[in-house]
């Protein structure tokens, strides 16, 4: 049999009746003056006529269900009659099934909800071909309506809405029990029905609330569902960059100070002015709460939960280019149990040490390690010291293999090495107060042989961010670990000469860096972060040295732990006139220029 004949045969099996006659019946049903649903025709009669080839009443009945305001009595009667003839619901009745399942049954009385639950369970058990439609219609109820914000304060349903949603979750739980293979359909539907990232905050957060509710009674879905959740939240995060959040907050404050307008919307004190930031704030708050419950209240499953979170981080967040806030979920997770930190650092360091991993991923791992060591209050000082040893040992081995007479010294050729060197400089500068507290700690810093790294032929200081290099130079000078200022001055002269002699822009000579755990800007969910997050503090020796030399540290490091504002690339002439502004990066290490 040919391919064409096979296709024709298959079509004839699926379509038992004439498509033309059915389309004609559908059009007539739309144009016809419709009679009441309380007519003498039963659902069974309608199905039987359709089976015999007459789709007129069938299409008319569907049209009435879609367009009529059904009373509770009619609604209940329709569901009851449909239950009695479930055995007649062949594949060509999919239109009717989709229409019935689309009815807003959760807004009806308790009696109707119980009848509908029994109907959908019987339908999907008897006809598994309707499983996909049934699952998607059930999960679509999780999406709050646009005008229902009052029933979803901060993405959490009120008591009445919770009672109605519990019916949906009850049906899903029973379906999983009765039809195990339906699990894959549910996971796919969770991802498919996730609201568009620009929808209202209560819609995104409300849907997430139901997704986490699903995980509470079906933890087997956790990894797949969390991967889907963070993939969608990442879209919100990347479209709510830090500069736009700050601009929205500052602009609103300026408007309040200049104008007093009655029709201007008033924001709550903890409400983000940027809608996407508000959505992300509420959703991350829910994720922090979920992680806290899973790890602290279920110690038996804590390790499994962490492995799941780490897997989601490595597959979704780590490859993402410069996320803004979503990565803090791993930061918070690490704070919940001491053993998690070492496992996290070991996992990232294994990628850094593996030459078969892409250089971009290896550098990203270095940035996460450095930012964690600098910002996490909950880290023991021994872990920071051991990681510094590991980083410096790797750098020394790399330098020993480098042949300055033949090798290329560009950032592209040695990106991982430069990233590791900057990580060492950054952590030492940022945690100088802890790392220099006592002779034993100072001896450890001396054992790192920082001079060999700083004075190596690759000259890592030349590609470091200026704020990191300057802060590191100040610390090492204060404690006589190494002297960097002469190298910094020589690098500055070379770069200035390059500007005058060529058309190469200076930003290309600075390492492309980001600091994942920059200060947290989201208001409501910050309560989970602020007590475990470290702000910069210069050591007493540094401050004393600055006072003696007449250069107050506060001139270069601000009173607040904010970040250097994002700057645009300068033209060659601008860079020549203002070399101190030649460095461009999206996130700062927490030091002010």
Closest CA relative to residue 513, chosen from 431, 428, 451, 420: 420
Distance from CA of residue 229 to its chain's centroid? 7
Place of tokens 């009848």: 115
- What's the helix, strand, coil split of the chain in %, to 5? 70, 0, 30
Question: Phi and psi at residue 410, in whole multiples of 5°?
Answer: -80, 165
Closest CA relative to residue 556, chosen from 495, 490, 488, 469: 469
Query: Residue 268's pLDDT is what?
Result: 85
What is the DSSP code string of 64-119?
A: HHHHS---HHHHHHHHHHHHHTGGG--GGGHHHHHHHHHS-GGGS-HHHHHHHHHH
Closest CA relative to residue 373, chosen from 311, 429, 453: 429
Closest CA relative to residue 329, chosen from 450, 232, 230: 230
Give the C-alpha separation, 368 to 348, whole Å.
8
Query: Residue 569's pLDDT is what?
Result: 34
Question: Phi and psi at residue 98, in whole multiples of 5°?
Answer: -65, -35
- Return left, alpha or beta for 591; rule: phi > 0 is left, psi -120 to 50 is alpha, else beta: beta
pTM for the model? 0.84
The first and second tokens of residue 296, run together, are 């602290």
Query: Residue 265's pLDDT is what?
Result: 64
pLDDT along the chain (593 residues), means of 10: 39 45 53 48 88 88 90 93 91 91 94 96 93 96 95 95 96 95 96 96 97 96 96 97 92 58 70 96 97 90 94 96 95 95 97 95 97 96 97 95 72 91 96 92 94 93 92 92 91 63 52 90 96 83 60 44 37 35 42 48
The first and second tokens of residue 85, run together, are 């003839």
Give the C-alpha separation, 260 to 363, whole Å.
49
Tally of residues, the chain: 593
Give the C-alpha separation, 82 to 493, whole Å.
84
Give the C-alpha separation, 162 to 551, whole Å.
61
Query: Residue 230's pLDDT is what?
Result: 97
Place of tokens 């569907």: 62
Q: Where are the domains of the chain?
A: 37-116, 127-251+271-336, 356-402+410-514
Give the C-alpha separation, 124 to 384, whole Å.
56
Query: Residue 567's pLDDT is what?
Result: 33
Angle of the 466-478 helix axis to the 485-501 helix axis, nearest 10: 160
Neighbouring-strand partners of residue 376: 533
Give the C-alpha separation, 411 to 423, whole Å.
15
Question: Is residue 533 classed as helix, strand or coil in its secondary structure?
Answer: strand
Is 186 in contact with 176 (CB distance < 8 Å)? yes
Is 193 in contact with 142 (CB distance < 8 Å)? yes
The first and second tokens of residue 7, run together, are 């296709």
CA distances from 460 to 452, 453, 464 (A): 11, 8, 7
Closest CA relative to residue 67, chosen from 94, 96, 30: 30
Query: Residue 146's pLDDT is what?
Result: 94
Across 269-356, the runs of DSSP E, i.e. the strands, are none
């Amino acid at each position: 049999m040919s391919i064409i004949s096979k296709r024709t045969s298959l079509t004839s099996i699926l379509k038992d009746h004439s498509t033309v006659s059915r389309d004609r019946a559908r059009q007539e049903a739309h144009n016809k003056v419709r009679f009441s649903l309380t007519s003498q025709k039963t659902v069974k009669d309608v199905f039987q006529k359709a089976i015999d080839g007459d789709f007129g009443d069938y299409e008319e009945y569907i049209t009435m269900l879609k367009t009529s305001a059904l009373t509770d009595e009619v609604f209940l009667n329709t569901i009851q009659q449909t239950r009695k003839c479930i055995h007649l619901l062949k594949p060509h009745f999919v239109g009717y099934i989709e229409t019935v399942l689309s009815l807003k049954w959760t807004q009806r009385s308790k009696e109707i909800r119980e009848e509908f639950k029994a109907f959908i369970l019987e339908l999907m058990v008897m006809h598994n071909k309707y499983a996909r439609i049934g699952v998607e219609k059930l999960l679509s109820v999780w999406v709050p309506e646009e005008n229902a914000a009052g029933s979803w304060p901060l993405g959490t349903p009120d008591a009445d809405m919770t009672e109605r949603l519990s019916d949906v979750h009850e049906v899903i739980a029973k379906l999983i029990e009765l039809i195990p293979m339906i699990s894959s359909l549910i996971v796919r539907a969770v991802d498919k029905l996730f609201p568009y990232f620009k929808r209202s905050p209560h819609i995104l957060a409300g849907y997430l609330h139901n997704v986490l509710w699903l995980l509470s009674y079906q933890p087997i879905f956790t990894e797949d569902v969390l991967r889907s959740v963070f993939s969608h939240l990442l879209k919100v995060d990347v479209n709510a960059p830090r500069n736009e959040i700050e601009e929205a907050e500052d602009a609103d404050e300026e408007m309040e100070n200049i104008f007093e307008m009655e029709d201007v919307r008033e924001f709550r004190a903890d409400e983000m002015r940027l809608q996407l930031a508000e959505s992300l704030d509420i959703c991350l708050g829910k994720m922090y709460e979920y992680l806290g419950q899973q790890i602290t209240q279920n110690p038996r499953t804590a390790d499994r939960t962490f492995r799941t979170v780490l897997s989601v981080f490595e597959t979704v967040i780590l490859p993402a280019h410069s996320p803004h806030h979503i990565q803090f979920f791993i930061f918070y997770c690490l704070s919940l149990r001491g053993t998690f930190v070492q496992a996290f650092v070991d996992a990232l360091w294994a990628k850094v040490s593996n030459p078969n991993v892409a250089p971009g991923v290896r550098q990203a791992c270095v940035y996460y390690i450095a930012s964690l060591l600098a910002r996490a209050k909950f880290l023991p000082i021994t872990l920071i010291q051991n990681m510094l040893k590991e980083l410096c040992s790797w750098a020394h081995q790399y330098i020993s293999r480098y042949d300055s007479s033949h090798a290329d010294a560009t950032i592209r050729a040695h990106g991982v090495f430069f990233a590791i060197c900057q990580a060492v400089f950054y952590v030492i500068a940022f945690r100088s107060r802890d790392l220099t507290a006592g002779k034993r700690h100072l001896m450890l810093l001396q054992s790192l042989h920082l001079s060999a790294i700083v004075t190596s032929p690759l000259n890592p200081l030349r590609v470091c961010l200026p704020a990191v290099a300057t802060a590191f130079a100040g610390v090492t000078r204060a404690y006589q670990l190494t002297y960097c200022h002469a190298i910094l001055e020589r690098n500055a002269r070379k770069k200035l000469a390059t500007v005058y002699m060529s058309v190469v822009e200076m930003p290309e000579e600075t390492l492309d860096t980001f600091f994942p755990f920059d200060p947290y800007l989201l208001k409501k969910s910050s309560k989970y972060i602020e007590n475990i997050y470290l702000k910069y503090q210069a050591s007493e020796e540094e401050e004393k040295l600055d006072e003696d030399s007449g250069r107050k540290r506060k001139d270069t490091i601000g009173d607040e732990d904010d970040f250097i504002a994002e700057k645009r690339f300068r033209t060659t002439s601008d860079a020549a006139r203002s070399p101190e502004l030649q460095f461009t990066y999206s996130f700062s290490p927490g030091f002010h220029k």
